[in-house]
Amino acid sequence: MFRLGSIGFARFGAPLILCAAVLVLSWPVADATAREASPSAKRPASVAKGKVKAKTAKRARPAVSRNGAVAGGSPVRHARTVDAPRPSLGHAIGLHAVGDPLSLRSAVALVVDRDTGEILIDKNSQAVLPIASISKLMTAMVVLDARLPLAEMLAISEDDVDTERNTRSRLGTGTRLSRGELLQLALMSSENRAAHALGRHYPGGMPAFVEQMNRKAREIDMTSTRFVEPTGLSSNNVSSARDLATLVRKASNYPLIREYSTASGLTVDTGYRTVSYRNTNRLVGNPDWEIELQKTGYISEAGNCVVMQTRIDNRPVVIVLLDAQARVARIGDAQRIRQWLERAPRTDDGIGVGAHKVSAQQRAAQPSRDS
């Protein structure tokens, strides 16, 4: 096992984390599009079809000569401003400065033996960060615990439309789907309107649902976790890798969560058209992987995240990767972890049979990084 992350707290203490969190969370959220959301957007009223074109056609453009001068004026300067990408919270507090023997691109990594709880890889696992759509695992647990009828038809309403980040959805208002379909879309494709509708149709409404999310977190000893809504679009949904490993292990006890989160796709009838969805995790369906449960997530404050329960070298493990810079980076990190676990020798050192250790040779021969 290797442990890393003391730098994340010894070097960057709680005051700095708090200041960085305030800085990151105060950024305008308009630029922080949640890429895990399904494609297709609802047009704002101000840009309804046909209006933009008409307004553009009315604009009179000044005559510009070959040398770039406006007729009767000075040369035109074509200034182009490009907004620099905003760092995630993990970047802001320096978690990416912590190195590791596997050259992982995720700021946080944790690998745990599913059966024994033994920690095999630990990098910044106690850092509390936004968790994006990984929140939907708790959403699913709360829905299933309530034993609400999965065949009941629920309607998507204006209340389910994301007005914080303006993420897109192919579930238009008025769409009616069963609770089971909404649950699968939330887990498999990170459908935000589906997850929000599940919370809204909970007995007592959204306040009762969020309260139950937090109560459930306390019940299963997720001591560093807080939820404010069911989708993960809010950066105030926070947790640590340690807590998320617990969440994955508990969620794996629900057969429907295992089934829905690892489904390759689902086609639904929205009442207007037939829409096909696919899994957001490209490792699902890969014959080299035996994934029993998974959930991806992304918002700008959280970076690219993924949690999985899988079997590697016939060993059940939970993998938590938070705050990677790109989707392919989190997949590359998962591949590196798998290769290391498959190559690492197994020993009986008195701690437990099968404990993996990082040798000096393995440290020197680091796997190549994805481009």
Residues 18-68: tens digit of each pLDDT: 445 544 444 444 334 345 544 434 433 333 333 333 344 444 444 444 444
Domain count, the chain: 1
pLDDT score recorded for residue 36: 55
Residue 249 has pLDDT above 80, yes or no: yes
Residue 4 has pLDDT above 50, yes or no: yes
Residue 207 in domain: yes
What mean pLDDT is reported for the chain? Answer: 80
Containing structural domain, residue 149: 2-20+87-364
CA–CA gap between residue 229 and residue 197 (Å, rounded): 11
Residues 152-200: tens digit of each pLDDT: 999 999 999 999 899 999 999 999 999 999 999 999 999 999 999 999 9
Residue 70 has pLDDT above 70, yes or no: no
> So which residues are the catalytic ones?
133, 136, 190
Residue 339 in domain: yes
pLDDT score recorded for residue 24: 47
Residue 261 has pLDDT above 50, yes or no: yes
Residue 186 in domain: yes
Residue 26 in domain: no
| Local confidence band at 351 (pLDDT 50, 70, 90 cut-offs) | very low
For position 259, which CATH number holds? Answer: 3.40.710.10
CA–CA gap between residue 23 and residue 17 (Å, rounded): 10
Residue 147 in domain: yes
Helix extents (H) in 252-311: 255-261
Look at residue 341 and give its three-state secondary structure: helix
Higher pLDDT, 260 or 18: 260
CA-CA-CA-CA torsion for 50, 55, 57, 60, nearest 10 degrees? 180
CA–CA gap between residue 218 and residue 213 (Å, rounded): 9
Residue 61 in domain: no
Residue 51 in domain: no
DSSP bridge pairs for 318: 112, 309
DSSP bridge pairs for 308: 294, 319
